[in-house]
């Protein structure tokens, strides 16, 4: 039997960093070049078809993406931090146009998913760079070690310049601790669902696009009545919580 350690694409030090800080950067190609180019071509098609504000749960409409979401290349990154039994929770192409890309306010993913799943513990997002991501074009930033709560106090913000209508209250954030995720295309970051993170607006001449792939340990229960129309896939291993999967 192949063990998690044998399959892992993360070093023990990277796993320890993820557990301590709530994130890790993977500065290597996730996919072979031809496979990454296929994914980018799918993104460009979906962007042109649906627009940059309609690309959440995009794999519900474009089944070609399951090749990537359920791939060993990605799951061998996820398994060391989620465990051997993995469900596919969601995916989202995120594109910030040059000069006009909005800011993503400081937030926790867990605050938007509250009540939809039995526990936030163990949920992991892989953020794959489709384009180069830099501080100038609005790359992701996190507050390391902030993943232990997941439910900060929020306040309203102007949606003219922000993707979300709320943000974590500024007094709870020490901006000096922020770490920026600079990534080349086909590299990725992994972050825990409860970590405080955000992104500045795109002030550059370069588009910033990424693909978020979200996974959960199948010991967690996704409540169907609180997720109407939401689809799950069993990505690896077996289910432990009675979840319903498209590929069961």
91 part of a folded domain? yes
247 part of a folded domain? no
How many domains does the chain fold into?
1
Q: What percent of the chain has pLDDT over 70?
A: 97
What pLDDT, on the 0 to 100 scale, is given for residue 100? 79
Q: What pLDDT, in 10s, does the model give residues 1-30?
A: 455 666 899 999 999 999 999 999 999 999
Are 174 and 143 spatial neighbours (Cβ–Cβ below 8 Å)? Answer: yes
Average pLDDT value over all residues in the chain: 95
166 part of a folded domain? yes
**How sure is the predictor about 137, in pLDDT bands with cuts at 50, 70 and 90?**
very high
155 part of a folded domain? yes
Both tokens assigned to 138: 């609005």
Sign of torsion over alpha carbons 92, 181, 31, 80: negative
**CA nearest to 232, candidates 212, 208, 216, 219:** 216
224 part of a folded domain? yes
* CATH number for position 132: 2.60.120.620
101 part of a folded domain? yes
Residue with tokens 């209508």: 165
- Within a 10 A sphere around the Cβ of 104, how many other Cβ atoms? 20
Structural domain of residue 215, as residue ranges? 4-236
Q: Which spans in 63-118 are helix H?
A: 66-69, 72-82, 109-113
pLDDT exceeds 80 at position 165: yes
Q: What pLDDT, in 10s, does the model give residues 71-97?
A: 999 999 999 999 999 999 999 999 999
245 part of a folded domain? no
242 part of a folded domain? no
């Amino acid at each position: 039997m192949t063990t998690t350690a044998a399959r892992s694409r993360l070093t023990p030090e990277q796993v320890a960093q993820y557990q301590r800080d709530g994130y890790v950067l993977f500065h290597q190609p996730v996919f072979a070049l031809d496979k990454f180019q296929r994914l980018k071509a799918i993104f460009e098609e979906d962007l042109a078809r649906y627009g940059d504000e309609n690309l959440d749960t995009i794999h519900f409409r474009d089944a070609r993406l399951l090749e990537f979401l359920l791939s060993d290349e990605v799951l061998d990154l996820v398994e060391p931090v989620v465990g051997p039994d993995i469900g596919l929770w969601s995916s989202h192409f995120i594109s910030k146009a040059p000069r006009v890309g909005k800011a993503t306010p400081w937030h926790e993913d867990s605050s938007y998913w509250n009540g939809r799943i039995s526990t936030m513990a163990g949920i992991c997002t892989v953020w794959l760079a489709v384009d180069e991501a830099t501080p100038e074009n609005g790359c992701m930033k996190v507050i390391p070690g902030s993943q232990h709560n997941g439910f900060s106090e929020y306040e309203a913000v102007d949606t003219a310049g922000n993707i979300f209508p709320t943000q974590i209250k500024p007094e709870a954030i020490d901006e000096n601790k922020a770490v920026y995720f600079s990534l080349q295309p086909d590299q990725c970051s992994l972050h825990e669902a409860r970590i405080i993170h955000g992104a500045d607006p795109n002030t550059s001449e370069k588009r910033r696009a990424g693909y978020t792939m979200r996974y959960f340990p199948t010991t967690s229960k996704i409540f169907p009545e609180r997720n109407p129309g939401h689809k799950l896939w069993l990505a690896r291993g077996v289910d432990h919580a009675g979840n319903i999967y498209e590929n069961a």
